[in-house]
Amino acid sequence: MKSYTRPPDEFARLVVEVERYGVDVVYIVDSAGGMLPAQIAAYVKAVRELSESVRLGFHGHNNLGLGVGNALRAVELGVEVIDASLMGIGRGAGNTPSEQFICALIRMGIDCDIDPIKLLDLSDHLILPLEAMRGSPSLDVVSGLALFHSSYMSTIQKYAAKHRVDPRRLRSLWAIGS
C-alpha cells in the first residue's frame, strides 16, 4: 500500500527483502491515484535492477484518471498482475476500470481471451445500477493531486471544519513534482 511513500530505490530494496521470505507477487500500489506513468516505470526499473525473478503486480486508483494509463504502462514494462474492477468500483475515486483496460489491451494487440461486450454487459447489469448516483468527488481528485490516501480524510475534514478551511485548498499537501 502507498508505494509512492518510498523512493523507487528504497522500495526495490524492500521488494528484495520480502522476496527472500517467499512472497509470490509484490505490488506497486498507487493508493492515492496520483502516480504518473513515468513513476510506475521508475519503480519497475528499480526493482528489476535488483531482482529479475520477483513477480510484480500493479494496483492503481483512478483519482486523476490515470488508472488505465498506468496499468498499460505496467504491462509494457512486464508487470505480470494488474488489478482492475468492473467499472472501476472501489474506494474513493475507484480503481482501474476493467472494461476500459481490457479494451485498451485489445487495441494494443494483446489477446486477453475476454469478450469485451460480455464484460460490458456484466458491468451494465451489475455495477451501473450501483454507480448511477456516483460521480468523481472533487476531494478525491485533490487527493490524487496530493498523493494523499483517503484513510486520513476524516482527520483532514475534522480540522478543515474546525478551522473553516476548504480541505481542497490545503496546498501544502499537494505533492507537485514528487
pTM of the model: 0.79
What single-letter DSSP state applies at residue 25? Answer: E
Q: Helices in 20-152 by DSSP H: which ranges? A: 37-50, 67-76, 98-107, 116-126, 128-131, 138-146
Integer Cα distance of 70 and 62 in angstroms = 10
- List of residues 6+ apart from 83 with CB closer than 8 A: 27, 57, 58, 59, 60, 95, 96
Please state at what angle helix 98-107 crosses helix 67-76, rounded to 10 degrees.
40
pLDDT score, position 120? 87
Residue 88 amino acid letter: G
> What is the rounded CA–CA span in Å between residue 86 and residue 130?
11
**Dist CA 89 CA 19 (whole Å):** 30
Supply the pLDDT for residue 92: 81
Whole-number Å distance between alpha carbons of 156 and 90: 21
Domains of the chain: 3-135 (3.20.20.70)
The rounded distance, in Å, linking the Cα atoms of 172 and 93 is 21
Q: Residue 4: what pLDDT?
A: 83
Question: What averages of pLDDT result for each successive group of 10 residues across the chain (178 residues)?
Answer: 86 95 94 94 98 96 94 98 94 89 92 90 85 60 67 80 80 49
Give the DSSP letter of residue 84: -
Q: Within a 10 A sphere around the Cβ of 68, how many other Cβ atoms?
A: 22
